[in-house]
Amino acid sequence: MNNLNFKTLKKYWLRFVGIAVIAGSLVLAFAWVAGLFGHRTTSKTFLGDSLSKFDPGYRRAHGKGICFDGTYHSNGAAAAISKATVFAKSDIPAIGRFSIGSGNPHAADNSTATVSMALLLSAADHSQWRMKLNNFPYFPTRNAEGFLAQQKAFKPVPATGKPDPALVEAFLKEYPEARKSIEQKAKMPLTGSFSGAEFYVVNAFILRAANGQEQPVRWSMRPHSKFISLTKEQRDQAGHDFLFKDIKKRLAEGPLYWDLVLQLAEPGDPVNDPSQPWPKERKEVIAGTLEAKNVTEQVNGVCRDINFDPTLVPPGIELSDDPVLAARAGIYSQSYNARLREIGFGKATDAVGK
Amino acid sequence: MQNKSNNNAPRHFNLTARILHWLMAVAILAMLFIGVGMTTSITWRPWLIDIHRPLGIAILLLVIIRLINRLYFPIPPLPPTVPRWQAFVAHASHWLLYLLMFSLPLLGWATLSAGNWPVTLFPGWDLPPIAPTSSTLYAWFRTLHGILAWLLFAVVIGHLSAALLHAWIYRDGVFSSMALGSSAGSNRDNEKKNAD
Which residues of A, range 35-74, sit inside 8 Å of B by Cβ?
Answer: 35, 40-44, 46
**What ipTM does the predicted assembly reach?**
0.95
Query: What whole-number distance in Å separates Cα of residue A1 and Cα of residue A9?
Result: 14
A131 close to A308: Cβ distance less than 8 angstroms: yes
Nearest CA in chain B to A8: B169
Smallest Cβ–Cβ distance between B81 and the set A1, A46, A145 belongs to A1
Side-chain half-sphere CA neighbours of A141 within 13 A? 17
Report DSSP state, residue B76: P
> Per-residue pLDDT tens for A80-107?
999 999 999 999 999 999 999 999 999 9
In this prediction, residues A331-352 reach a mean pLDDT of: 97
Q: Which residues of A touch B42 (CB under 8 A)?
A: 41-43, 46, 144-145, 323, 326-327, 330-331
Going by pLDDT thresholds of 50, 70 and 90, the confidence category of residue B183 is very low
Percent residues over pLDDT 90 in chain B: 84
Does the reported pTM lie above 0.90? yes
In the set A39, A62, A106, A224, the catalytic residue is: A62
Q: Is the CB of residue B194 less than 8 Å away from at least one CB of chain A?
A: no
Q: Which helix (H) or strand (E) holds B89?
A: helix B84-114
Nearest CA in chain A to B129: A126
A240 is a catalytic site residue:
no
Q: Does the pLDDT of residue A27 top 80, yes or no?
A: yes
Q: Is B39 helix (H, G, I), strand (E, B) or coil?
A: coil
Q: Which domains does chain B have, with CATH numbers?
A: 15-195 (1.20.950.20)
Instruction: Give the number of other CB atoms < 10 A from CB of residue A112.
Output: 17
Of the candidates A151, A158, A59, A36, the residue with the CA atom closest to the CA atom of residue A105: A59
Q: Does the pLDDT of residue A203 top 80, yes or no?
A: yes
pLDDT at residue B186, rounded to an integer: 45
Q: Does the pLDDT of residue B115 top 90, yes or no?
A: yes
Nearest CA in chain A to B137: A344
Query: What whole-number distance in Å separates Cα of residue A61 and Cα of residue A328?
Result: 12
Distances (CA, A) of A61 to A54, A325, A328: 11, 16, 12
pLDDT at residue A8, rounded to an integer: 79
Instruction: Give the number of other CB atoms < 10 A from CB of residue A65.
Output: 24
Distances (CA, A) of A329 to A171, A334, B39: 25, 9, 10
Ramachandran area for residue A130 (φ above 0: left; ψ -120 to 50: alpha; else beta): beta
Rg (CA), chain B: 20
Rg (CA), chain A: 24
Query: What whole-number distance in Å separates Cα of residue A70 and Cα of residue A295?
Result: 9
What type of residue is B114? A
Q: Which residues of A touch B139 (CB under 8 A)?
A: 340-341, 343-345
Q: Does the pLDDT of residue B13 top 50, yes or no?
A: yes
Query: What whole-number distance in Å separates Cα of residue A97 and Cα of residue A132?
Result: 9
The sign of the torsion formed by the CA atoms of A175, A160, A52, A68 equals negative
Q: Is A15 helix (H, G, I), strand (E, B) or coil?
A: helix
pLDDT at residue A69, rounded to an integer: 98
pLDDT at residue A232, rounded to an integer: 86
Going by pLDDT thresholds of 50, 70 and 90, the confidence category of residue A7 is confident
**CA angle at residue A246 from A128 to A185, to 5 degrees?**
75
Query: What whole-number distance in Å separates Cα of residue A232 and Cα of residue A266?
Result: 38
Q: Which residues make beta-bridge pairs with A288?
A: A74, A260
A128 close to A314: Cβ distance less than 8 angstroms: yes
Q: Is B172 helix (H, G, I), strand (E, B) or coil?
A: coil
> Per-residue pLDDT tens for B46-76?
999 999 999 999 999 999 999 999 999 989 9
> Per-residue pLDDT tens for B149-173?
999 999 999 999 999 999 999 999 9
Q: Which residues make beta-bridge pairs with A263?
A: A218, A284
In this prediction, residues B87-103 reach a mean pLDDT of: 97
Hey, are the CB atoms on A330 and B41 less than 8 Å from each other? yes
Query: What whole-number distance in Å separates Cα of residue A35 and Cα of residue A346?
Result: 28
